[in-house]
Structure 1
Amino acid sequence: MDKNATRYNVQLYIYDLSRGMARSLSPIMLGKQLEGIWHTAIVAYGDEFFFGGEGISSCSPGGTMLGHPDTVVELGETEVSDEIFMEYLSSLGESTYRGDRYRLFEHNCNTFTNEVAQFLTGRSIPSYITDLPSEVLSTPFGQILRPILDSIHIAPPGGNVINGGRNM
């Protein structure tokens, strides 16, 4: 490792989309306790990056309609330059993370942040976030709701879409 290389801090912003309702309603509706319905974003290079029904988007940290995150997790540092990172995001935005590829349970904001976290730091995001879809789907109510939930595309307002092949 080059000790003179510039290092960038990488954070995971975690938002509870239910604003606490999942904690109180999940035992009644699902028969199991959920702490939240999680939306996550990667914060690096002075911006917040996330994936939703519009594709990959960015904004200033905490700049979506969700406001400030409920939790911030320090993922570590990266030596990946911001130019290489933007090329990487642009490539993802043209292929794996186009808006039309968004799926609430299988391919969502948390899938994106987990992949980006591993690219930048070699670390995964917390498993309680990545395991949430299978927890919900393992319940009878989750199975009943699946057709409805599969049609939902979450894209927090306030971000700038990063189109494939075009920097912000």
Structure 2
Amino acid sequence: MDQTGSYPVKLHVYDLSRGMARQLSPLMLGKQLDGIWHTAIVVHGKEFFFVGEGISNCPPGGTPLGEPGSVVDLGVTEVPAEIFMEHLTSLAESTYSGDKYNLFEHNCNSFSNEVAQFLTGKKIPSYITDLPSEVLSTPFGQALRPLLDSVVINPGGNNITGQR
């Protein structure tokens, strides 16, 4: 690699419920959830995320979700943009093609966690990755599972493989 440098890596965290999970979860689930999390990795001037159409990107904070509720600093990476895009294209053609999306087991947060580890060696916060098992551990979560399994989250953006 000729070009060397370090690039900041951020995790954008959005609450898809816009505060409703915090208010309604004790009644519905019998436990407190702080949010229904959608995450994206921000590196090399773009925000990258996994949705029902596959891996997408947009300018940071550029989805219809608006500005993230919080931003987690994941450190820096020495992976240049060109290598990172090759890695994403490989993921988009295999593990993270749109047909592999699953709200509970293989979602935007799984993607963010894997990409964070590729770039920085660090995982994203466990309160995000543990959320599906927390919901499914409740009777209401189990009852809703068939319905929720069919849900696909798509906040917009451009598919990195050019497919729509």
Q: TM-score, normalised by structure 1?
A: 0.94
Structure 1 alignment gaps of length 5 or more: none
Structure 2 residue runs of 5 or longer lacking an equivalent are: none
Q: What residue identity is the alignment partner of 2:129?
A: T
Q: Distance in 1 between matches of 2:154 and 2:99?
A: 12
- Alignment of 1:113 onto 2:112: yes
**Residue in structure 2 matched with residue 19 of structure 1 by the alignment:** 18
Q: Residue 92 in 1 paired to residue 124 in 2?
A: no
**Does the CA contact (< 8 Å) of 2:55 and 2:159 recur in 1?**
yes
For residue 114 of structure 1, report the CA deviation from its aligned partner.
0.1
Supply the distance in 1 between the matched residues of 2:86 and 2:24 (Cα, whole angstroms). Answer: 42
The residue type paired with residue 113 of structure 2 is: N
Whole-angstrom CA distance in 2 between matches of 1:7 and 1:147: 44
Find the counterpart in structure 2 of residue 41 from structure 1. Answer: 40
Give me the whole-angstrom Cα distance separating, in 1, the residues matched to 2:4 and 2:52. Answer: 35
Between the aligned partners of 2:113 and 2:5, the Cα distance in structure 1 is 23
The alignment's TM-score, normalised by the length of structure 2, stands at 0.96
CA drift of 1:75 comes to: 0.1
Distance 2:19 2:152 in 1: 20
**Aligned partners of 2:100 and 2:153: how far apart in 1?**
12
For the residue of structure 1 that corresponds to 2:143, the secondary structure is helix
Q: How does 1:15-164 map to 2 (within 5 A)?
A: 15-157=14-156, 159-163=157-161
Q: Is the 8 A contact 2:52 2:99 kept in 1?
A: yes
Deviation at 1:5, TM superposition (A): 2.5
Aligned partners of 1:6, 1:138: CA distance in 2, in Å? 44
C-alpha distance in 2, partners of 1:62/1:148? 29
- SS, match of residue 114 in structure 1: helix
SS at match of 2:95: coil
Contact 2:4 2:80 survives alignment (8 Å): no
How far apart are the structure 1 equivalents of 2:53 and 2:70?
24
Structure 1 segments, 4+ long, off by >6 Å, are: none
Question: Matches of 1:126 and 1:101 in 2, distance apart?
Answer: 23
Cα distance in 1 for residues equivalent to 2:77 and 2:118:
9
Partners in 1 of 2:55 and 2:4 — Cα distance? Answer: 27
